[in-house]
Structure 1
Amino acid sequence: MTKRVMILATDGFEQSELIKPKANLEKAGIETEVVSLEEGSIRGWDQKDWGESVAVDKTVDAIENCDGYDALLLPGGQMNPDILRMNERAVAIVREFALADKPIAAICHAPWLLAEAGLIDGKTVTSWPSIRTDLKNAGANVVDQEVATDGKFITSRNPDDIPAFSKALIDMLGETVADSELEAA
């Protein structure tokens, strides 16, 4: 049976942190679905300006629960997770994946959502340097490494970590893809 991953994002996602992991998952035969706050499309942030738009498949309000999904992918960017953590339904979705013991992969600033959902106390995580104090204050053991995996949580620091980040999620889902096929930032 084909695995499905929800990608939860909104305007201001770090372009490479959504587009590249999405492509890597799809190369491994995993279906992806972009879920956001509003219908239509969302715009990425590409280093210093607005980047490409990505079509939204469903809104957070259309998601009753995490049934039908095998994992959750949270791209970073500074704006994206900051906006999402202010939306009660988005935070509830993150919590539901954790309660269902399904993998959650968060990169860059996206671990903010894990903290907002109250999920990282005692967990080992990594992130973009500027939010590490926030994660420590939420009770996490914060490390500086390419990928930190603790139970079903996979976290990474930045776009340079995308191949390892993608591979960790693909492996956790029991699928495979050659390292040479993984797209980088």
Structure 2
Amino acid sequence: MVGRLYKIWSSGGSMDPLPIAEKALPQVAKNRLVQFDSLQWGVLPGLVQRAILWDTGIVMTSSSDYVQILTVCGQTMADLMLDVAVVQDIVSNSSTCVLSKCGGNAQFLESCLTDVIVPSVRCFVDKTTLGTVPSFSGVYWAADGGNEEAPAPVLRDHTSLNTSVNKLYAIHLVDKVFSGVRSGENDHSLWRRKPK
């Protein structure tokens, strides 16, 4: 994600600064700023602010709070996205999972019980720090086929209604709600291919 933000910034793109004051930043983000004496949160471009938050593991929840993402040992925030090969393996070993396509090269998990996905996750969240995050019934894994929209990560609760053992939170890099095949057919901006 940081690479995508840098690409947007280096090509002249921008995003509005985030509506959070430096004093309200989570401590891990404040610590990152301290590492670079000349960085002041309030004057950083919005793209740089987002890169710092992502790199330090801070993501906004769907209820507009910031939460710390904790990665599995040896992983970084750059390693969180499950590769399509991992998802295909999950699907091939479970009768409850369906990997669907939307458009040319977009793929998404149309249905899959939370318990089937949990062993493959690469990060976790301390639930005691979350506050209230409303449950969301849409797709919790998708490969967008080349969406060029600026990433704006948001954490959503995707716990299956029939599963009470595990809670599954997913980080969406694009804040458009995607709920399945009809979304892919009706909103091609979510699934456009990169120009050649």
Q: Which bin holds the TM-score, normalised by the shorter protein?
A: under 0.3
- TM-score for both structures, normalised by structure 2: 0.26
Structure with higher strand content: 1
